[in-house]
Structure 1
Amino acid sequence: MILPKRLGLTLVVLVPLILLVAAPLLSILGQTLGSAAWSDVLVSRLSRNLTWEPLGNTMILGLGTAIGSLLIGGFFAWLVVMTDVPLARTLGVLATLPFMIPSFATALAWSSLFRNSRTGGSTGMLAGLGFDSPDWLAWGLLPTLFVLIAQYYALVFTVVAAALASLNGDAVEAAEMSGAPRRRILLGIVLPMVTPALLAGASLAFAAAVSNFAAPALMGLPVRMQTLSTRLFGMIEIGQAERGYVLAILLILVSAALLGVGNRLLVGRRSFATISGKGARRHRMKLGRARWPLCCTAMAICFVTTLGPILLLVAASLAPQGSALFSDWTLQFWTGAADPDFARGQAGIFRNPQIVKALVITLGLGVAVAVAAVILGVLAALVLTGPRIRVLTETVNQLSFLPMLLPGIAFGAAFIVLYGAGFGPVPGLYGTPLLLGLALTAASLPFAVQTGRATVAQIAGDIDEAARMTGASFPRRLVAITLPLASRGLIAGALLVFVNVVGDLAIVALLYTPDTPVLSVLSYRYASDGFQQFANAITVVILAISVAATALAQLLKGRRP
């Protein structure tokens, strides 16, 4: 009796995974088969402008972000986990804050500081002080690279810190007792031990950077610097959808290739083992006189990459002129009535019906996607942690984590292909909140499944077995036992999914319409049209929502049931 029931549950999970993940990807590939778009994109006279220059910029940003994130994130991980640096816990919290800050927020903060007169409109604070930033500092590859590193070094920190925390300190302590210098210990012992984590963190940072849309769009498009993601967006916006779909496939391949290379480097390696059957204890290196200088250096990095941009955004949302961020503050951009003599007659964001509507839609989408993703994540976790049906269970496993490899902008394009115009009895969903919700739910599945597995694994199997022997059906066991016992962890996971949805721009950039406005796209649109204060104010609202939800999630995770 167990096998048929397990088969039924597996199919219940597998069907939505096919509809949400596999079908959109296959449909986008099908749209390009036999099309001239492949030759246009790859070998025509247009290919250099369409593909190869954007691909070159994409690779530069991806590799630069991987290296920069590795250096900063690895430094923070070593400092917080392996040394006696002061304020280690505070530094650990600050190093994870970039997860809460969308890349377009940091990009807007950079513009508020360095924007020059190249593109017209208001200038940044430095221009107001008499320093007109050169183009290479205000726009293009360098600022985009900074924005991406500022966000994704937190990803490397999380991966590497977890690896360092599991190291056996005996080797480090023995080296110290033998008189080995700190540099030799770091490069000769610690670094080789955490090589897998370093490769994994760098690969993830690369994949995230090449698929990022917000930063290159805000920092690159004003000077015509294109990446694959921005070129894909532009192709679909101007009606050249098939070329855009080819670029989406190329973007997926580039992202997946580097992740595959990182995994390949680790295959067959056995020299990284750091956890054995013997008891292990953590050993903290003594920094001596370097304790406070290194602490101040880390604090400075946190301020420049996280706290500083937030302060700049708040100031820029209150200042009438971008060149004077800290004078004549006003709430006009927040609550002011429409005034022809102020901001081209635009009312403050809380008096603008479209922005208020966007706030309601964004919050509603966040809640709906969080609930749907967590429910599907729990069901997938039950399939993956229970008795396995070989092929079907492995298919569930692969499909549930496949969205991690897919750039958001490409995912949005895939959903337009399959569900935008409709097919058979399924009506066209383009321009509806449902299409946004489906795409965001699919993109959130890897995190939801991981959260579900972590929480379900904490519930002893004999509880469910006892209920099953008494005749309780699976739905009843799920509602009466699994969900209540795992509720705290699931709510925390749902809140973090909610944060990702509220700050997402890549997926919704293609699915947005005037009838379905969301805050992130409105912020991007205002910034693109030169209404910087309104863009900054909307972004501050997104940050406030994200910080509150993340803090609540951390509080729930920290409490014991």
Structure 2
Amino acid sequence: MPLASARPLARPFRLDGRLALKLFVLTILGVLVAAPLLRILFETLDPDAIVAWSDVTSGRLSRNLLWLPLGNTLILGVGVACGCVLIGGFLAWLVVMTDVPFRRTIGLMATLPFMIPSFATALAWGSLFRNSRVGGQTGFLEGLGFAVPDWLAWGMVPTLIVLIAHYYSLAFTVIAAALATVNSDLVEAAQIAGAKRGRILMGIVLPVALPAVIAGASLTFAGAVSNFAAPALLGLPVRMQTMATRLYGLIEVGQTARGYVIAILLIVVSALFLWLGNKVISGRRSYATITGKGGRAKRFDLGPARLPLFGAAAIICLLTTVVPVAILIASSLAPSSSALFSSWTLHYWTGASDPSIAQGQVGIFSNPFIVSATGLTMALGVAVAVTTTIIGLIVAFVLARDGKGLLAGTINQISFLPLLVPGIAFGAAYIALFGAPIGPFPALYGTFVLLLIAGTAYLLPFSVQTGRAVIQQVSGDLDESARMTGAGFLRRLTAITVPLASRGLAAGGLIVFVKIMRDLSLVVLLFTPTMPVLSVLAYRYASEGFTQFANAITVVILVISIAATLLANQLQAKSQPWLKS
């Protein structure tokens, strides 16, 4: 009888559970984030479409297709970044480091403008300053007899002002958080040594806050260059194009290859400035200001300047929060923007068709299409919040519990990649990937599914960040103990992590809900009559001259967004050190 072979039997290949989870997460991120961006690049490299690069960059139309829009985009980006840092930094300094009255109120109001959609502020600007250059209704000031110059009603100046009013909250939040870490002992020691306020500000406060200043400038620059709403409403009527509006126009008229080239270049511009900001921050010397000792807050005594500086801060906050909302509400009730505060009517809200008013348009709550769009938008917000929270939590779990190695690093980079991509470029990428059938799968353009997955991918970084924050609050020992007893990943996630972190996850989901409710840049290219979204309807009404209807829809978006934001803040209960005494 032959002897049995001495070779050991080969063991069946078993994929490690953690490795399998990482591969699963990487696949999801590849489909949601990487694939659309790669597809938009490959579309422009197709032999039939590669000529679009030369058309856009060096052809006879390149001046209008690229260089003029690029110049306007860079002017807006740099101007908004400088304005936001100045205003946000000024308010942060007042709230955190001085004895200005009503610091908490100023701090709260300084965070509100980002809650208001930029197209809402642009609509409010038009209701005040619109002149007769492009026809249609004139604004309130011209109705009072003032001759509003074109440069104030349309184009670069109003777009800059509106975007600064919208984005300075970002700079305020980042700089205020940095200023709150300044060691009061250093300031007090400098005062005892006889240093003047200017010397303390430039020698102590500014070096500590400089990384936050650069971060605030980078974020606001990226937001401004990707913004579609404000330049579309205030610039397009006088043919002022930015890269975002040019991209929208090219896709709308079917010149998709040229549009995709603009989208890629817009991504490069936004990503380059964010990279430069990070490079500057990482290349600086660090300053240790937290010593471990408890200390009382040391605030600058403003003296006689206390009330004037409070007045300046109050005016900024009121003009960027209360005034736009009040104008929108008044304009939705007034028969004309030139007479905002007289002859109010609810026609634009609940009225029936009247041929003598707005070409027979019914009020928004009497219009089945708008009522349906309201339900669809809220359903989209809830669906995106749920899917983004689930995927973000799984990604955050992988990064928090096993964040080492090449796979984890790749997952981390891809999950935050949408932050570098302007919303309108992201929408174009999804049209490129899902606008046509893929194998057995049908085209998704014009479906709820496309809006859902595009919104989920675009807002994924926010849910990942929220997920990491809440998972870090749950001890890893609990998860490890459950794993050793044989509990699988889903069992550990649903039985331990989710119950303990439910409030934080709910708050993060509400933030995502608010963002998709008021977003215009992402959905403006994905909009179809079968899938109406409120923000795009407001833009369409405004561009067609039905200002009151646009403002009424915008007020609805504001009410929903503010209610959800307040609920999120209540759940999150964040500690804001600059609001404490």
Cα deviation digits, residues 492-536 of structure 1 (max 9, x gap):
000010000000000100000000000000000000000000000
Partner of 1:532 in structure 2? Answer: 547
One-letter code of the match for 2:377?
T
Deviation at 1:89, TM superposition (A): 1.0
CA–CA distance in 2 between the matches of 1:422 and 1:69? Answer: 44
Deviation at 1:7, TM superposition (A): 1.2
Aligned residues: 560
What is the TM-score of this pair, normalised by structure 2? 0.94
Which of the residues 165, 168, 186 maps onto 2:201?
186
Partner of 1:454 in structure 2? Answer: 469
One-letter code of the match for 2:273?
L
1:18 partnered with 2:34:
no
CA–CA distance in 2 between the matches of 1:335 and 1:60? Answer: 42
Cα deviation digits, residues 405-456 of structure 1 (max 9, x gap):
0000000000000011121122100000111111111110111100000000
CA–CA distance in 1 between the matches of 2:295 and 2:65? Answer: 54
CA–CA distance in 1 between the matches of 2:438 and 2:488? Answer: 36
Deviation at 1:344, TM superposition (A): 0.9
Deviation at 1:240, TM superposition (A): 0.5
SS, match of residue 509 in structure 1: coil
Distance 1:282 1:2, change over 3 A: farther
Partner of 1:116 in structure 2? Answer: 131
One-letter code of the match for 1:6?
R
CA–CA distance in 2 between the matches of 1:437 and 1:55? Answer: 31
CA–CA distance in 2 between the matches of 1:305 and 1:388? Answer: 41
Which of the residues 457, 460, 485 maps onto 1:470?
485
SS, match of residue 282 in structure 1: coil
One-letter code of the match for 2:487?
A
Partner of 1:165 in structure 2? Answer: 180
CA–CA distance in 2 between the matches of 1:555 and 1:188? Answer: 38
Partner of 1:152 in structure 2? Answer: 167
Alignment of 1:548-559 (within 5 A): 548-558=563-573
One-letter code of the match for 2:35?
A
One-letter code of the match for 2:315?
A
One-letter code of the match for 1:21?
V
1:245 partnered with 2:266:
no
Distance 1:89 1:227, change over 3 A: same
Asked if structure 2 preserves the Cα contact closer than 8 Å seen for 1:252 and 1:410, the reply is yes
Cα deviation digits, residues 221-277 of structure 1 (max 9, x gap):
000000000000000100100000000001000001111111121233224443345
One-letter code of the match for 1:351?
S
CA–CA distance in 1 between the matches of 2:348 and 2:502? Answer: 40
Distance 1:198 1:322, change over 3 A: same
Deviation at 1:178, TM superposition (A): 2.2
Which of the residues 366, 369, 374 maps onto 1:354?
369
Asked if structure 1 preserves the Cα contact closer than 8 Å seen for 2:85 and 2:216, the reply is yes
1:479 partnered with 2:491:
no
Cα deviation digits, residues 36-55 of structure 1 (max 9, x gap):
00000000110001100000
Deviation at 1:391, TM superposition (A): 1.1
1:31 partnered with 2:43:
yes
CA–CA distance in 1 between the matches of 2:557 and 2:465? Answer: 25
CA–CA distance in 2 between the matches of 1:306 and 1:388? Answer: 41
One-letter code of the match for 2:20?
G
Q: Which structure: larger Rg? A: 2
One-letter code of the match for 2:462?
F
One-letter code of the match for 2:19?
L
Deviation at 1:280, TM superposition (A): 5.4
Alignment of 1:304-453 (within 5 A): 304-453=319-468
SS, match of residue 339 in structure 2: coil
What is the TM-score of this pair, normalised by structure 1? 0.98
Partner of 2:73 in structure 1? Answer: 58
Partner of 2:104 in structure 1? Answer: 89
Asked if structure 1 preserves the Cα contact closer than 8 Å seen for 2:373 and 2:531, the reply is yes
Asked if structure 2 preserves the Cα contact closer than 8 Å seen for 1:211 and 1:229, the reply is yes
Q: State which drifts further: 289-298 or 217-226.
A: 289-298
SS, match of residue 336 in structure 2: coil
Partner of 2:17 in structure 1? Answer: 5
Q: State which drifts further: 487-496 or 266-275.
A: 266-275
Gaps of 5+ in 2: 1-12, 576-581
Deviation at 1:361, TM superposition (A): 0.8
Gaps of 5+ in 1: none
Q: State which drifts further: 433-442 or 270-279.
A: 270-279
SS, match of residue 454 in structure 1: helix
SS, match of residue 510 in structure 1: coil
Cα deviation digits, residues 268-299 of structure 1 (max 9, x gap):
32244433455555322221222222112111
Asked if structure 1 preserves the Cα contact closer than 8 Å seen for 2:110 and 2:317, the reply is yes
CA–CA distance in 2 between the matches of 1:522 and 1:268? Answer: 45
Q: State which drifts further: 54-63 or 90-99.
A: 90-99
Partner of 1:70 in structure 2? Answer: 85
Asked if structure 1 preserves the Cα contact closer than 8 Å seen for 2:514 and 2:561, the reply is yes
Asked if structure 2 preserves the Cα contact closer than 8 Å seen for 1:70 and 1:156, the reply is yes
Percentage of identical aligned residues: 65
CA–CA distance in 2 between the matches of 1:383 and 1:49? Answer: 46
Q: State which drifts further: 424-433 or 55-64.
A: 424-433
Partner of 1:489 in structure 2? Answer: 504
CA RMSD of aligned residues (A): 1.5
Partner of 1:46 in structure 2? Answer: 61
CA–CA distance in 2 between the matches of 1:454 and 1:467? Answer: 21
CA–CA distance in 1 between the matches of 2:177 and 2:14? Answer: 37
One-letter code of the match for 2:43?
Q
Deviation at 1:62, TM superposition (A): 0.1
